[in-house]
């Protein structure tokens, strides 16, 4: 029942977002949504956040500077909320909002995201990593060209080894998005690529099968974006990928097969099937090469959502 209500709210929020793009009065609507975030009922807060996300996605540019500032300040508080759903939604929206805020606000946000002391609660650190991940989806160049980028990268690496699974999972997704952005914006910077790929490979050894699956999905997406860069790092990727093909978790094994298909470029000719046998068995290489190349398009949702 709760799941159905969330679907209805999400659909309504999407419709509201599309309608808001046609409206000339977005400020009052956003003001009302911000006011409703004060509600004690978690369902009302979730619905308001879903609606706010839809409106900002479609009409964020139309907001006045004053209302954008209100949104920014509200969300900056909510990414540290104890309620998981509120925290996740707020971080997702803050990533969208980062495209429209003032430069000084953006600088302030990046400074806060680059410094996450362990004295912070795990939920506050989780909200910050969620926000970094969302910004890497909606506004990656701002993070990557910021003076804070090295520190933010360190925060993502630290989250990969956190005892809390949600931090490790979110950081893995963030590294996947960062890899895609760097392949597009800085395709010849092999040292940065190597650093990101090494972090994703470390996630292939995580205790959580979901973290391992997300890391495989990220490497596969990277292979689709820049196959030669992935092949150039196969000595890092290959052994861990081979282990994942024998994983005890069926979803991980299936993800590993699809990752291997693209990482080793197994559909591109028998020479690639032969080369892959440095890391995987000939039987596996030939079997995986027969998987339809576009059978896994839905997996890209791992990096496209949240």
pLDDT in tens, the chain (306 residues): 544 555 555 565 555 656 555 455 789 989 999 998 887 777 888 888 998 998 998 888 889 999 999 999 999 999 999 999 999 999 999 999 999 999 999 999 999 999 998 889 999 999 999 999 999 999 999 999 999 999 999 999 999 999 999 999 999 999 999 999 999 999 999 999 999 999 999 999 999 999 999 999 999 999 999 999 999 999 999 999 999 999 999 999 999 999 999 999 999 999 999 999 999 999 999 999 999 987 765 555 567 666
Block residue for tokens 């495209």: 99
Model pLDDT, residue 2:
45
In terms of DSSP H, where are the helices of 161-233? 165-185, 190-203, 209-225, 227-232
Q: Do 47 and 9 contact (CB within 8 A), yes or no?
A: yes
Residue 35 vs residues 31, 40, 42, 63: alpha-carbon distances, Å: 6, 12, 14, 16
Number of Cβ atoms within 10 Å of the Cβ of 290: 9
Model pLDDT, residue 47:
86
Structure confidence by residue, pLDDT tens digits, 94-141: 999 999 999 999 999 999 999 998 889 999 999 999 999 999 999 999
C-alpha angle 93/218/259, rounded to 5°? Answer: 150
**Domains, the chain:** 1-138 (1.25.40), 160-306 (1.25.10.10)
Percent of the chain with pLDDT over 90: 77
Quote the tokens at residue 184: 């597009």
- Strand, coil or helix: 140: helix
Query: Reduced to 3 DSSP states, what percent helix, strand and coil does the chain have, rounded to the nearest 5?
Result: 75, 0, 25
Model pLDDT, residue 298:
54
Model pLDDT, residue 6:
56
Model pLDDT, residue 44:
82
Q: Do 33 and 70 contact (CB within 8 A), yes or no?
A: no
Q: Do 128 and 79 contact (CB within 8 A), yes or no?
A: yes
**Quick check: pTM over 0.85?**
yes
């Amino acid at each position: 029942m709760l799941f159905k209500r969330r679907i209805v709210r999400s659909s309504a929020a999407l419709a509201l977002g599309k309608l808001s793009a046609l409206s000339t009065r977005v400020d009052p609507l956003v003001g009302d949504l911000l006011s409703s975030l004060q509600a004690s009922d978690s369902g009302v807060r979730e619905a308001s956040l879903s609606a706010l996300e839809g409106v900002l996605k479609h009409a964020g540019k139309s907001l006045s500077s004053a209302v954008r500032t209100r949104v920014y300040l509200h969300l900056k508080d909510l990414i540290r909320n104890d309620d998981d759903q509120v925290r996740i939604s707020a971080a997702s929206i803050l990533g969208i909002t980062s495209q429209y805020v003032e430069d000084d606000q953006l600088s302030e946000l990046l400074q806060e995201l680059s410094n996450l002391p362990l004295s912070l609660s795990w939920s506050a650190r989780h909200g910050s990593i969620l926000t970094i991940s969302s910004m890497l989806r909606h506004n990656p160049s701002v993070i990557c060209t910021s003076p804070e980028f090295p520190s933010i990268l360190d925060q993502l690496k630290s989250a990969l080894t956190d005892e809390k699974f949600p931090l490790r999972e979110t950081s893995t997704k963030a590294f996947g998005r960062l890899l895609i952005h760097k392949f597009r914006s800085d395709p010849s910077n092999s040292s940065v690529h190597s650093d990101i790929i090494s972090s994703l490979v470390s996630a292939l050894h995580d205790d959580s099968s979901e973290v391992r699956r997300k890391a495989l999905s990220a490497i596969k997406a990277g292979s689709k974006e820049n196959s030669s860069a992935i092949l150039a790092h196969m000595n890092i990727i290959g052994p861990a990928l081979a282990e994942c093909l024998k994983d005890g978790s069926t979803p991980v094994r299936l993800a590993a097969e699809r990752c291997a298909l693209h990482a080793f470029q197994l559909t591109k000719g028998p020479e690639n099937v032969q080369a892959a046998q440095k890391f995987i068995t000939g039987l596996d290489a030939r079997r995986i090469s027969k998987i339809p190349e576009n059978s896994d398009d839905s997996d890209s949702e791992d990096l496209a959502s949240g």
